[in-house]
Protein backbone atom coordinates (compact mmCIF):
# COMPACT_ATOMS: atom_id res chain seq x y z
CA UNK A 1 0.00 0.00 0.00
CA UNK A 2 1.10 3.53 -0.73
CA UNK A 3 1.85 5.74 2.27
CA UNK A 4 1.66 9.50 2.82
CA UNK A 5 2.36 12.06 5.52
CA UNK A 6 -0.15 14.46 6.99
CA UNK A 7 0.73 17.17 9.47
CA UNK A 8 -2.20 18.54 11.40
CA UNK A 9 -0.83 22.04 11.83
CA UNK A 10 -1.05 24.20 14.95
CA UNK A 11 -4.20 25.81 13.49
CA UNK A 12 -5.91 22.40 13.53
CA UNK A 13 -4.57 21.42 16.95
CA UNK A 14 -5.46 24.75 18.59
CA UNK A 15 -8.97 24.69 17.12
CA UNK A 16 -9.60 21.14 18.38
CA UNK A 17 -9.92 19.65 14.88
CA UNK A 18 -7.55 16.69 15.26
CA UNK A 19 -10.36 14.17 15.73
CA UNK A 20 -12.37 15.60 12.84
CA UNK A 21 -9.41 15.41 10.45
CA UNK A 22 -8.58 11.83 11.45
CA UNK A 23 -12.27 10.88 11.29
CA UNK A 24 -12.50 12.05 7.68
CA UNK A 25 -9.48 9.99 6.64
CA UNK A 26 -10.74 6.88 8.42
CA UNK A 27 -14.27 7.26 7.01
CA UNK A 28 -12.75 7.37 3.53
CA UNK A 29 -11.10 4.01 4.21
CA UNK A 30 -7.50 5.14 4.68
CA UNK A 31 -5.48 3.23 7.24
CA UNK A 32 -3.69 5.00 10.09
CA UNK A 33 -0.25 3.42 10.45
CA UNK A 34 1.62 6.11 12.39
CA UNK A 35 0.63 8.98 14.66
CA UNK A 36 2.32 11.23 17.19
CA UNK A 37 2.04 14.67 18.70
CA UNK A 38 5.18 16.77 18.82
CA UNK A 39 6.66 20.25 18.83
CA UNK A 40 8.56 21.05 15.65
CA UNK A 41 11.72 23.15 15.73
CA UNK A 42 13.28 25.51 13.20
CA UNK A 43 15.87 22.92 12.13
CA UNK A 44 13.38 20.31 10.92
CA UNK A 45 11.07 22.97 9.49
CA UNK A 46 13.89 24.58 7.50
CA UNK A 47 14.57 21.15 6.00
CA UNK A 48 10.89 20.40 5.40
CA UNK A 49 10.08 23.78 3.84
CA UNK A 50 13.48 24.34 2.15
CA UNK A 51 11.71 24.91 -1.17
CA UNK A 52 10.03 27.98 0.37
CA UNK A 53 13.04 29.38 2.24
CA UNK A 54 13.51 32.33 -0.13
CA UNK A 55 9.88 33.40 0.01
CA UNK A 56 8.97 36.58 1.90
CA UNK A 57 6.49 34.67 4.05
CA UNK A 58 8.94 31.95 5.17
CA UNK A 59 9.36 33.53 8.62
CA UNK A 60 5.58 33.42 9.14
CA UNK A 61 5.60 29.71 8.30
CA UNK A 62 8.28 29.03 10.91
CA UNK A 63 6.47 31.12 13.53
CA UNK A 64 3.15 29.44 12.82
CA UNK A 65 4.48 25.88 12.74
CA UNK A 66 6.34 26.30 16.06
CA UNK A 67 3.47 28.05 17.86
CA UNK A 68 2.00 24.86 19.32
CA UNK A 69 2.18 21.08 18.91
CA UNK A 70 1.38 19.40 15.63
CA UNK A 71 0.00 15.92 15.04
CA UNK A 72 1.92 13.81 12.55
CA UNK A 73 0.04 11.08 10.69
CA UNK A 74 1.22 8.35 8.36
CA UNK A 75 -1.69 7.02 6.31
CA UNK A 76 -1.79 4.16 3.83
CA UNK A 77 -4.11 3.09 1.06
CA UNK A 78 -4.41 2.68 -2.68
CA UNK A 79 -3.29 5.94 -4.35
CA UNK A 80 -3.13 7.39 -0.85
CA UNK A 81 -1.09 10.49 -1.73
CA UNK A 82 -3.59 11.74 -4.28
CA UNK A 83 -6.62 10.75 -2.20
CA UNK A 84 -5.32 12.71 0.80
CA UNK A 85 -4.45 15.77 -1.31
CA UNK A 86 -7.91 15.75 -2.85
CA UNK A 87 -9.49 15.46 0.59
CA UNK A 88 -7.35 18.35 1.90
CA UNK A 89 -8.35 20.71 -0.92
CA UNK A 90 -6.34 23.57 -2.37
CA UNK A 91 -4.04 25.59 -0.12
CA UNK A 92 -6.23 28.67 0.31
CA UNK A 93 -9.04 27.69 2.65
CA UNK A 94 -11.21 30.64 1.53
CA UNK A 95 -11.53 29.20 -1.98
CA UNK A 96 -11.04 25.48 -1.34
CA UNK A 97 -14.11 23.49 -2.36
CA UNK A 98 -16.69 22.69 0.28
CA UNK A 99 -16.41 19.07 1.34
CA UNK A 100 -12.61 19.30 1.60
CA UNK A 101 -10.82 19.71 4.91
CA UNK A 102 -9.61 23.20 4.04
CA UNK A 103 -12.86 24.18 2.33
CA UNK A 104 -14.92 23.21 5.35
CA UNK A 105 -12.57 24.16 8.17
CA UNK A 106 -10.18 26.92 7.04
CA UNK A 107 -10.37 30.62 6.21
CA UNK A 108 -6.64 31.08 5.55
CA UNK A 109 -3.89 30.46 3.04
CA UNK A 110 -1.36 29.69 5.79
CA UNK A 111 -3.46 28.56 8.76
CA UNK A 112 -5.05 25.88 6.60
CA UNK A 113 -5.26 22.95 9.04
CA UNK A 114 -3.08 20.36 7.27
CA UNK A 115 0.08 19.76 5.30
CA UNK A 116 -0.04 16.79 2.92
CA UNK A 117 2.70 15.18 0.86
CA UNK A 118 2.55 16.21 -2.80
CA UNK A 119 4.00 13.08 -4.42
CA UNK A 120 4.85 9.49 -3.58
CA UNK A 121 8.55 10.38 -3.67
CA UNK A 122 8.12 13.28 -1.25
CA UNK A 123 5.82 11.20 0.95
CA UNK A 124 8.65 8.71 1.53
CA UNK A 125 11.13 11.51 2.29
CA UNK A 126 8.68 13.26 4.63
CA UNK A 127 7.66 10.08 6.48
CA UNK A 128 11.34 9.28 7.02
CA UNK A 129 11.93 12.86 8.21
CA UNK A 130 9.24 12.80 10.88
CA UNK A 131 8.96 9.13 11.89
CA UNK A 132 11.46 6.50 12.97
CA UNK A 133 10.93 3.15 11.21
CA UNK A 134 9.59 1.49 14.39
CA UNK A 135 6.88 4.19 14.66
CA UNK A 136 5.20 3.02 11.43
CA UNK A 137 3.07 -0.06 11.91
CA UNK A 138 1.89 -2.15 8.97
CA UNK A 139 -1.00 -4.42 9.83
CA UNK A 140 -3.84 -6.20 8.08
CA UNK A 141 -7.21 -4.53 8.46
CA UNK A 142 -10.15 -6.85 8.75
CA UNK A 143 -12.33 -4.62 6.57
CA UNK A 144 -10.10 -4.37 3.46
CA UNK A 145 -12.51 -6.53 1.48
CA UNK A 146 -15.27 -3.93 1.87
CA UNK A 147 -13.01 -0.95 1.13
CA UNK A 148 -11.26 -2.26 -2.02
CA UNK A 149 -12.16 -4.69 -4.78
CA UNK A 150 -9.86 -7.72 -4.94
CA UNK A 151 -8.12 -6.38 -8.07
CA UNK A 152 -7.25 -3.04 -6.37
CA UNK A 153 -4.96 -4.35 -3.62
What integer is the mean pLDDT of 2-11? 98
In 12-97, the DSSP E strands lie at 31-38, 70-77
Q: Within a domain: residue 146?
A: no
Q: Which domain holds residue 7?
A: 2-138
Reported as a single tens digit per residue, the pLDDT across 62-104 is 999 999 999 999 999 999 999 999 999 999 999 999 999 999 9
Q: Within a domain: residue 148?
A: no
Reported as a single tens digit per residue, the pLDDT across 110-130 is 999 999 999 999 999 999 999
Domain count across the chain: 1
Average pLDDT, the chain: 97
The yes-or-no answer on residue 48 being catalytic is no
Task: Specify the pLDDT at position 123.
Answer: 98
CA distance 73 to 37: 9
For residue 57, with 0-12 CB atoms within 10 Å meaning exposed, 13-18 middle and 19 or more buried, which class applies? exposed
CATH number at 129 reads 3.30.70.141
Q: Catalytic pick from 48, 51, 115, 144? A: 115
Amino acid sequence: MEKTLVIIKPSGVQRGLVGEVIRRFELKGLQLCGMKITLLDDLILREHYAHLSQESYFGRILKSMTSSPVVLLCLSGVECVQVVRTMAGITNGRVAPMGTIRGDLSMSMQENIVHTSDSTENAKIEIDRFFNPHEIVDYARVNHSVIYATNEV
